[in-house]
């Protein structure tokens, strides 16, 4: 009897391992990719040989990211709308910028975490990478409203910043708008959040529990990976409202790019980044899943399957890099003054 029981336990265990191995392969076949398990492999993905990531650039970029003097008013920093303590977003339906102005298109602030893996930046995909994207909000009237020359004058008037740029790039560095925003982008590249889902895809078959695996199967079988794939589980341009009209489509005037394509938001840390969709109209993750079923897939996702998918999505909450709020260098008498106009 003991032998029979032992054999039964072994067979159940072997079947479970086989099922997990099969699910890992199924996920990979569905174009889901893991954040690399090693720092060396990760750097091969995110680093740029023409502008390599260094600790000096990252630290300087972090200061600039948190510095409200990057805005015309001296009140708004990158972290205002992409708050690293709030999942990299701001938790409101439409971003609020200069002069307490709501985004004129009623656009929601996407998370900055894992944005290095996005194939396109902004909801309409107009920027191909982070260095280009970082220039947009700084200049935009409803956001930070700071002309490039104002940013250059402010940073160059602060002696400590000048020394830090020289330390990061060399004594002959030209501290212009492009260099300043590219340095912010270098910091943003490091905001990667590996999760237990990545451990699972990287071969740890026990990283996800039974319910999370069931949710992953449902996520794949329902067709969610047709848009939410790759390392970011999003971040690519996709057609929107394929099967039906999004029920809040008339909130704001955003219709996508010239071809009606919209950047698919990442699902990493999705439990932290409500409200959902480009105009921030849905607060419930389960409701968002069901809305995507009807809008994009042309199917009805019932409460039971939505709950299974949400269970999987919770497993995408990753480990955040430790961010210590920096002490910013002091302004000089020559630093251009803030303006609310």
| Residues tagged in the binding site annotation | 78, 81-82, 98, 224, 227-228, 292
Residues of the binding site for heme c? 78, 81-82, 98, 224, 227-228, 292
Catalytic (active site) residue 211 = no
31 sits in the region (left: phi over 0; alpha: psi -120 to 50; else beta) called left
Q: Are strands 96-97 and 101-102 parallel, antiparallel or unpaired?
A: antiparallel
- Answer whether 151's CB lies under 8 Å from 157's CB: no
The C-alpha atoms of residue 79 and residue 112 are separated, in whole angstroms, by: 9
Catalytic residue selected from 33, 40, 59, 143: 143
- Which residues are within 8 A (CB) of 35 and not within 5 positions of it... i.e. 6 or more apart? 42, 114, 192, 193, 194, 195, 198, 231, 318
**Residue 233 CB neighbour total at 10 angstroms:** 25
Query: Rounded to the nearest 5°, which phi and psi values hold at 254?
Result: -75, 125
Please give the DSSP secondary-structure letter assigned to residue 110: P
Any idea which residues carry the catalytic annotation? 143
């Amino acid at each position: 009897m003991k032998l029979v029981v032992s054999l039964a336990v072994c067979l159940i265990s072997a079947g479970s391992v086989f099922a997990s191995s099969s699910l890992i392969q199924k996920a990979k076949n569905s174009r889901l990719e893991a954040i690399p398990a090693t720092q060396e492999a990760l750097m091969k993905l995110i680093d740029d040989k023409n502008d390599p990531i260094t600790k000096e650039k990252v630290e300087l970029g972090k200061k600039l990211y948190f510095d409200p003097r990057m805005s015309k008013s001296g009140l708004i920093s990158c972290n205002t709308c992409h708050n690293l303590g709030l999942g990299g977003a701001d938790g409101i339906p439409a971003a609020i910028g200069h002069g307490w102005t709501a985004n004129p298109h009623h656009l929601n602030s996407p998370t900055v975490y894992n944005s290095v893996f996005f194939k396109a930046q902004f909801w309409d995909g107009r920027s191909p990478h982070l260095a280009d994207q970082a220039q947009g909000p700084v200049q935009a009237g409803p956001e930070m409203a700071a002309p490039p020359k104002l940013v250059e004058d402010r940073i160059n008037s602060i002696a400590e910043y000048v020394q830090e740029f020289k330390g990061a790039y060399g004594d002959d560095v030209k501290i212009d708008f492009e260099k300043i925003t590219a340095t912010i982008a270098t910091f943003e590249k490091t905001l990667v959040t590996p999760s237990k889902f990545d451990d699972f895809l990287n071969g740890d078959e026990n990283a996800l529990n039974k319910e999370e695996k069931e949710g992953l199967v449902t996520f794949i079988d329902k067709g969610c990976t047709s848009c939410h794939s790759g390392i970011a589980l999003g971040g690519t341009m996709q057609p929107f409202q394929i099967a039906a009209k999004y029920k809040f489509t008339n909130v704001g005037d955003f219709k996508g790019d010239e071809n009606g394509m919209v950047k698919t938001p990442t699902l990493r840390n999705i439990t932290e980044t409500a409200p959902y969709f480009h105009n921030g109209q849905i607060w419930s993750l389960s409701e968002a899943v069901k809305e995507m079923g009807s809008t994009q897939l042309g199917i009805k996702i019932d409460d039971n399957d939505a709950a299974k998918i949400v269970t999987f999505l919770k497993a995408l909450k990753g480990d955040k890099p430790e961010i210590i709020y920096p002490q910013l260098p002091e302004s000089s008498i020559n630093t251009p003054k803030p303006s609310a106009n």
